[in-house]
Chains A and B, each alone.
Chain A
Amino acid sequence: SPLTACTRCRLQYVPVKGDHVIGIVTGKVGDVFRLDVGGSEQASLSYLAFEGATKRNRPNVQVGDLIYGQFLVANKDMEPEMVCIDSSGRASGMGVIGQDGFLFKVSLGLIRKLLAPKCEIIQELSQLYPFELVLGMNGRIWVKAKTVQQTLIIVNILEACEYMTAEQRKQALAKLSGN
């Protein structure tokens, strides 16, 4: 979707076809999971929309799990539909997000900044500690580092990146890596 100031300033996420988002499983209705993606409606995710899933081999998804997937159908007239495979049937990083880690919300504009190629914030953070990161276009970020303290430090820095300038960020990171 076009990158405009309106997209960045908007508070609530609007599902767009092709967007990769983090959803929270809220329930199972028949063969379909219901996901909360932060939009006005819940999204549906078929249990067959996972790599290697068949009618007998169902994916292990429980209520409360985090799912990283993309929108197959997203328009104003219908309920959004998500899948965890791409057009060729491969997972390519999508699916159930592992145990532990920390999920938090940031503004939609910060997500787009973080997803830009050669994002400085991510590069600087990766020199601090190794960590796993999942960015959802719906404003949700999942982080997991080796210890809980490291995870929380990264979470706090990412949340503060909304308001910090590049200088302030470099100073904060220098202080942390000095410790």
Chain B
Amino acid sequence: MGGGVLAGSRETRNMAPPARYCVPGERLCSTEEASAGSGTYARHGSIFASLAGCLQRCAEGGGLPVVSVVRDADAQLLPGVGAVVTCKVCSINSRFAKVNILYVGSTPLKSTFRGTIRREDIRATEKDKVEVYKSFRPGDIVLAKVISLGDAQSNYLLSTAENELGVVVARSEAGVQMVPISWCEMQCPQTHTKDFRKVARVQPQFLQT
């Protein structure tokens, strides 16, 4: 708890040293000493932190200093609707596949987000004949597009219903990276066994040879 005391006589300084860390729910000061900024909220005459992070106090020219909690130095990039994301398949089910979103576009994410690819969103045509087991397997790297952010409890909803979306990297049972031979099949170069996947048609300029 131990509140940081904001001395009113230090209004002339821009930033009060040293930076202090706080956790959500920690009481920072009273609303008479400062006003709530981002990452904080005011309740019952006091200012509380709503994020876990670094405490920042900015003294403005006139009026009260602003107290804010900053989580990271740079803001996290969030996947937006329509963004193409790179994800790894965690588990599959007869109705959907659960994935971990690793990259948004070409920027890696610091923490992975969870996504779901429903069975009807895997392909654009013949949606009822789709078998999740013949499209994805756990461990595959998949290019998908975000179709919905979901609500509080559900994950991001993703879709691979385009030619350019689908499995990019997959390993065979032997552990060797497989080579795509058509839009629905991949072959292991070592054992020559064919496996079914929903393969992405990656643009030639993105392929590294």
Contact = CB atoms under 8 A, between A and B. Distances in A.
Contacts of A73: 94, 133
B139 to A, nearest CB: 9
B138 interface: yes
Interface in B90-129: 91-94
A81 B131 CA distance: 14
A77 B98 CA distance: 12
A20 to B, nearest CB: 21
A29 interface: no
The CB with the most chain B CB atoms within 10 A, among A73, A78, A79, A81, is that of A78
The 4 A-B pairs with the shortest beta carbon distances in the complex, nearest first, are A77-B138, A77-B92, A77-B137, A78-B92
Interface of B: 91-94, 132-133, 137-138
Q: Is the interface of A mostly helix, strand, loop or mixed?
A: loop
A96 B164 CA distance: 47
Contacts of B137: 77
A115 B92 CA distance: 34
A122 to B, nearest CB: 36
A77 B139 CA distance: 10
Contacts of A79: 93
Contacts of A78: 92-94, 132-133
A47 to B, nearest CB: 15
Contacts of A75: 133
Nearest to A72: B94
Contacts of B93: 78-79
Interface in A65-104: 73, 75, 77-79, 81
A73 B94 CA distance: 9
A15 to B, nearest CB: 14
A81 B95 CA distance: 12
A73 B92 CA distance: 13
Given A73-B133, A75-B133, A81 B92 contact: no
15 contacts: A73-B94, A73-B133, A75-B133, A77-B91, A77-B92, A77-B133, A77-B137, A77-B138, A78-B92, A78-B93, A78-B94, A78-B132, A78-B133, A79-B93, A81-B94
